[in-house]
Chain A
Amino acid sequence: MIRIGSHPVWHPVLETLAYAAGYAVFKFQRARQGDVVDEPQRWTVLAGAAVGALLGSRLLGIAEQWPTVEAAWHAGRLMALLFSPGGKTIVGGLLGGWLGVELVKRLSGIRRRTGDLFALPLCVGIAVGRVGCLIAGLADDTYGKPTSLPWAVDLGDGIGRHPVQVYEIFFLALVGIVVSLKWRLPEGARFRIFLGSYLAWRVAIDFLKPQPLVAGMNVIQWAALGGIFLLVLDWMVGRREQHEAVRA
């Protein structure tokens, strides 16, 4: 068993580093590969992503802790709860950011697929953030279930647990390699590969997390499943539009 302990003060530091690392990779990639949209349109997309991600991560974070929200509501402390730190989720951020981008693109008439440049930066950003989750230990609600495996980690309570954050870092490294390969893929495919595989990963890996369940899965797993459904729907609509364009 590997002893790590819980060091919650490092989480915000690593979280901030994660945003910075993600943005640095995005800028590097954009400078090297170019962009399918021009600078002002890219900022439009970024604005949609940022605001959507903020709302999505917070809303799903609050939904995940519904009993706490109910208690705060009865105690007349709902506003205090909304402004309290924590309670943000990656899946909510990804889904909110994606929907935010689609909404802003529709309003501003951007028809190109703009997500490919986000795929690798998101892999890097989430991986850096997960280091913070691991070091934060029990103070962060992302730790794994107890296990007797030799690589189990002790987060300070003497119990060996699945290092689910480390599993996720390895998974993100793999996805990062896949989306960085120079394959000829349709526009937007890299982002969809990243999003689809990450959501599927979360449905699977969250079974190793001791979270409250609703009908057999936790709230994040249900949201991830909903995201996969939307992704499939979007892919089908895209294919139909492509066929119609070819026929016309």
Chain B
Amino acid sequence: MRLFGHEFGRRAKTLVILAAVLLVSAGLCGLQLRDANSTHLIADAIEIPLGVVELVVMFASSVGIVVVSIAWGAEALYQRYGKAPKDEVQKLVEGKDDGERKDPR
């Protein structure tokens, strides 16, 4: 994947998977909650302990989404402003090689 002109392979896939996990775990969490008490109001819902496994998965996937997004943005910014992009470095190296080869001596 290209962001700010740089390749980022697996981060997008990870984000999609984490988002799907969060959506499904939130739904299943709701399943337990409604099973325990047939209420539909969030006001009542917050009074009841949620399914522990679903809550842990929800929390972990939420944190994962934030971490991956920040890492993605930070890496993109670093590569854009913090150092010369790989292809430019490569061009410089190739240019130097060409120059050396063309040198008549």
Contact = CB atoms under 8 A, between A and B. Distances in A.
A148 to B, nearest CB: 25
Interface in B1-35: 1-5, 7, 9, 11-13, 15-16, 19-20, 22-24, 26-31, 33-35
Interface string A177-200: 000000000000000000000000
A131 to B, nearest CB: 14
Contact of A41 (B1, B31, B35, B65): B1
B27 A68 contact: no
| SS of B interface (majority) | helix
A209 to B, nearest CB: 14
Contacts of A68: 41-43
Interface stretch (A138-146, A161-169, A214-222, A237-245): A138-146
Of the candidates B1, B9, B45, B50, the one having the most CB atoms from chain A within 10 angstroms of its own CB is B1
Given A68-B43, A83-B59, A107-B4, A16 B27 contact: yes
A85 B40 contact: no
Nearest to B35: A9
A86 B42 contact: yes
A23 B28 CA distance: 19
Interface residues of A, number: 40
A128 to B, nearest CB: 13
A9 B42 contact: no
B66 to A, nearest CB: 10
Given A44-B1, A86-B40, A13 B9 contact: no
Nearest to B73: A107
Contacts of B16: 43, 46-47, 50
A94 B62 CA distance: 20
B69 interface: yes
A72 B45 CA distance: 11
Contact residue range for chain B?
Answer: 35 or more
B12 A40 contact: yes
A98 to B, nearest CB: 15
Nearest to B76: A107
Given A8-B34, A47-B11, A138 B41 contact: no
Contact of B38 (A72, A107, A109, A139): A139
A77 interface: yes
Given A47-B11, A50-B20, A51-B65, A87 B28 contact: no
Given A43-B1, A51-B65, A85-B33, A139 B45 contact: no
B35 A108 contact: no
Contacts of B24: 16, 19
Contacts of A11: 27, 30-31, 34
B1 A12 contact: no
A140 B22 contact: no
Contacts of B4: 107-108
